[in-house]
Amino acid sequence: MRCPKCECRDDKVIDSRASREGATIRRRRECLACGHRFTTYEAIEQQPLMVIKRDGRREEFNREKLLGGIRRACEKRPISPKTIEEAVERIIAELHDQYDGEVPGQEIGARVSEALRGLDGVAFVRFASVYRRFEEADEFVDAVKKLEVRRDSATFRLPGF
């Protein structure tokens, strides 16, 4: 590690602790040459995900695009920005856990739908109307009706819902 003050490469770690629920390590360091103290953070570098679009194109996964889509669905709804951020982080972590390198776009949409279904019915329907590309008003009404039905815990859900 290079000291930000004198650029010397010799330092010692004074304190080390996990932060952000163990996702990163915070280290407090002291330069052995000038005595300047500074903090560094270590995090696991994850391989970037590629999204396989419906038409077969591949596009680099964009966290901001995911966050923007969820924010749009949640506009003017009683959902805090922190809750939205937590949902995005949870979705990204699940995708990294399940997929190595490439993830189908439909899988991202399904996870967003599930997260929004748990947060707010209106946000879910807003997102679903764009994601599922409803062609007829009846399809939209069916999606709303399915929100009203309580699911039995032993019932298996079909993909896309």
What 3 state SS string does 13-79 have?
EEEEEEECCCCEEEEEEEECCCCCEEEEEEECCCCCCEEECCCCCEEECCHHHHHHHHHHHCCCCCC
> How does 52-67 read in b/e, with b if 16+ C-beta sit within 10 Å?
beeeeeeeebeeeebb
Sequence-ordered list of residues with C-beta below 8 angstroms from that of 135, at least 6 positions apart, any chain: none
Residue owning tokens 């629920």:
21
Q: Which two tokens stand for residue 113?
A: 């739908």
Give the model confidence (pLDDT) of 60-104 as tens digits.
999 999 999 999 999 999 999 999 999 999 999 899 999 988 999
What residue ranges of the chain have pLDDT lower than 70?
20-21, 134-135, 143-144, 146-161
pLDDT (0 to 100) of residue 155: 57
